[in-house]
């Protein structure tokens, strides 16, 4: 009996030696380390033109004023939402979740630049007017001026990390252990509000806020490396913001097209 108990104590000590690194490793996955990793990446916003091309006569021009503010945080931030550790004798598991907020420094261009390019691309393809950059020389009362303001711009997501270690003692000096790591990117959500004002001289022809709540799930599976998870999370948030922008820009251009068509 003493020999059996002694063997058990040795096995338990070995198991505890395995548990400790798991707990320490989970502690290393702090918000700060995750944030540092994700800030090393950059992601591209993109605009895909899918609206039918306008083939009618184009004899009007609208001038787009400079959009001077993206209304988004500069840095991407990561904050720990929760953590769970299950240290058992033959099975050890830890789980963590991090909330992520997209910052403009993680993009390859400013959002305001992207929005202006998207408006120019869409309007110059699918509307009955030309959209041009405005300049200080335009003073005529008959000129159409488009002012665009980004009222709200926030894109978020989350990352779940987990690790499992299975320990199987075969004898006093022989054991078998197996580890599994997994990272999952949660759906990205973009909340975007764009204010648009079209004027001709002192006359306001249109003033409207275009809101959108866009959700986009990550289509990939689990990832073992936290760097890959961070990069995938950033790309998914950027894609979500791109899709949200496209829908708003299409709504804006469609309404401007109908308004200008009747003038």
What residue segments make up the domains of the chain, in order of their start?
A: 2-261
- d(CA 222, CA 139) in angstroms, rounded, equals 57
pTM of the model: 0.83
Whether the CB-CB separation of 31 and 79 falls below 8 Å is answered with yes
H helices present in 53-209, as ranges: 111-126
Of 86, 108, 91, the residue nearest 42 (C-alpha): 108
Q: Is the pLDDT of residue 182 over 90?
A: no
Of 132, 18, 20, 161, the residue nearest 66 (C-alpha): 132
Q: Give the pLDDT confidence score for residue 86 in this predicted structure.
A: 61
| Phi, psi of 70, rounded to the nearest 5 degrees | -80, -20
Of 140, 241, 74, 248, the residue nearest 233 (C-alpha): 241
H helices present in 111-192, as ranges: 111-126
Q: Is the pLDDT of residue 191 over 80?
A: yes
- d(CA 90, CA 94) in angstroms, rounded, equals 14
* pLDDT tens sequence across 16-72: 555 555 554 544 567 888 999 999 999 999 999 999 999 999 999 999 999 999 999
- Domain 2-261: CATH superfamily is ABC-type transport auxiliary lipoprotein component (3.40.50.10610)
Q: Is the pLDDT of residue 106 over 50?
A: yes
């Amino acid at each position: 009996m003493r020999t059996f108990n002694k063997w058990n104590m040795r096995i338990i000590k070995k198991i505890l030696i395995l548990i400790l690194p798991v707990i320490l490793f989970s502690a290393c996955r702090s918000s700060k380390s995750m944030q540092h990793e994700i800030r090393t990446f950059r992601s591209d916003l993109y605009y895909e033109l899918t609206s039918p091309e306008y083939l009618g006569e184009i004899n009007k021009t609208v001038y787009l004023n400079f959009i001077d503010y993206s209304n988004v945080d500069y840095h991407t931030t990561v904050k720990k939402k929760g953590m769970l550790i299950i240290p058992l004798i033959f099975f050890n598991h830890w789980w963590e979740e991090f909330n992520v907020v997209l910052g403009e420094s993680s993009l390859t261009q400013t959002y305001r630049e992207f929005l202006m390019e998207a408006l120019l691309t869409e309007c110059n393809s699918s509307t009955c007017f030309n959209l041009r950059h405005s300049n200080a020389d335009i003073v005529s009362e008959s000129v159409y001026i488009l002012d665009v303001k980004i009222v709200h711009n926030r894109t978020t997501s989350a990352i779940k990390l987990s690790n499992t270690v299975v320990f199987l003692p075969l004898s006093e000096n022989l054991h078998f252990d197996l580890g599994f790591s997994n990272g999952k990117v949660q759906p990205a959500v973009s909340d975007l509000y764009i204010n648009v004002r079209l004027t001709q001289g002192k006359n306001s022809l249109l003033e409207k806020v275009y809101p959108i709540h866009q959700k986009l799930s990550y289509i990939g599976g689990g990832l073992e490396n936290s760097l890959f998870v961070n990069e995938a999370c950033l790309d998914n948030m950027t894609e979500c913001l791109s899709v949200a922008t496209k829908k708003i820009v299409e709504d804006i251009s469609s309404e401007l097209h109908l308004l200008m068509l009747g003038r």
